Amino acid sequence: MVSVANRRSVMVLYSDAISPIGHSVRIVLAEKDINVEINYINDEQRPEELNDLNPYNTLLTLIDRDLVLYDAQIIMEYLDERFPHPPLMPVDPVSRASNRQLRFRVINDLYSLLDDIEGEDATAAANAKKNLKDNLTAIAPAFAQKPYFMSDEYTLIDCLLAPLLWRLDHYGIKLPASAKLLTQYGESLFEREAFKISMSETERELRL
């Protein structure tokens, strides 16, 4: 495994062209202007070398010389530590732990609904869409106090939320007027240059 990775002199990311979790990693790469080779793949186009590099057979994989990472949260934190400017996590331990906890909740409370939303069970999809809409609406008031999610600074949490908000129209979810602050927050994220750079062509077409 190490010998295959060592042959690469440039950081490489394998990512699905539509997966929101892969999109969040690409946002981090763009925010930090990291020189990276991005390969968009799907299960049918999966390179043979990933079978050796990624024991979980997932598509999202970052290769940085002899280091191979395949968990989105670990990848995002590694990139933030490896390339510290601009910082996307707080400096002090308490705030960093809070940031990790909030990202854990975003993954478990929001991202966990996507399999049902994109699945073939219409009832499960409808329930998941309602839950996602309700959960997002519930956090909208937080943006009355801070420009970013529970923070004055743009962080990894915002990198996670941006792909979800970008896909709401695609999922057939329309947020209520009571979530106006969240909608405005999403639009501000979409205007960031890094967000625009991070998108695949498939992702750009989601809101045409």
Tens-digit pLDDT profile for residues 59-79: 999 999 989 999 999 999 999
The per-residue pLDDT for range 77-102, each reduced to its tens digit, is: 999 999 999 999 999 999 999 999 99
CB 148 within 8 A of CB 158: yes
Domains and CATH numbers, the chain: 2-82 (3.40.30.10), 93-192 (1.20.1050.10)
Q: What is the mean pLDDT of the chain?
A: 93
The per-residue pLDDT for range 114-127, each reduced to its tens digit, is: 999 999 999 999 99
CB 15 within 8 A of CB 25: yes
Per-residue confidence band for 10, with pLDDT thresholds at 50, 70 and 90: confident
pLDDT of residue 34: 96
Between CA 14 and CA 38 the distance in angstroms is: 6
